[in-house]
Amino acid sequence: MVVEDQPSLRTVIVSGLSEARFAVRPVSDYRQAVSILRKVVVDLVLCDLTLPRESGFELVEHIRHAGMPLRVVPIIVMSDRTSPEDMAHAEEVGANAFLKKPFSKEKLLKYVVTLLDGPHASRPSIRRLMPVTGS
């Protein structure tokens, strides 16, 4: 699932993931995401921090407080808000990774593959992914 309120960026992300043969559910806000997550089990959530109404932080918290199997779904937070406080808060509420905007398709795919291949329930630390090099 891709939760991004900017249509052009959402389209680019969905296109990149689709080209890599991932099935993608694009949504534009917290409420759409929660509605779909009540009905469908997803393998990963890509979530912008700055969403209309409720924030990406709130969506991550919602997912982490949900019942199984949702609460162990890997979450990548995407944002241009890259202060140490925002990054620490993302990890505190349960994000597995923090992807700084702008990012390349290659970097996005590296994060997605790392989390999908990793141990979902143990939630790898954001810090483990931070040294990743590239755009």
What CATH number is given to the structural domain containing 107?
3.40.50.2300
Return the beta strands (E) in 67-111 as ranges: 75-79, 97-100
Tell the residue number behind the tokens 């808060």, with chain if given: 89
Q: Residue 39, SS3?
A: coil
Count other Cβ atoms within 10 Å, centred on residue 77: 29
Q: Considering its fold, how many domains does the chain have in total? A: 1
In a domain, 78, yes or no: yes
CA–CA separation, 1 and 73 (whole Å): 11
First to last CA, the chain: 22
In a domain, 99, yes or no: yes
pLDDT in tens, 81-97: 889 999 999 999 999 99
- Residue 36: is its pLDDT beyond 80? yes
In a domain, 135, yes or no: no
Over residues 39-46, mean pLDDT:
92
> Residue 34: pLDDT band by 50, 70, 90 thresholds?
very high
The model carries a pTM of 0.85
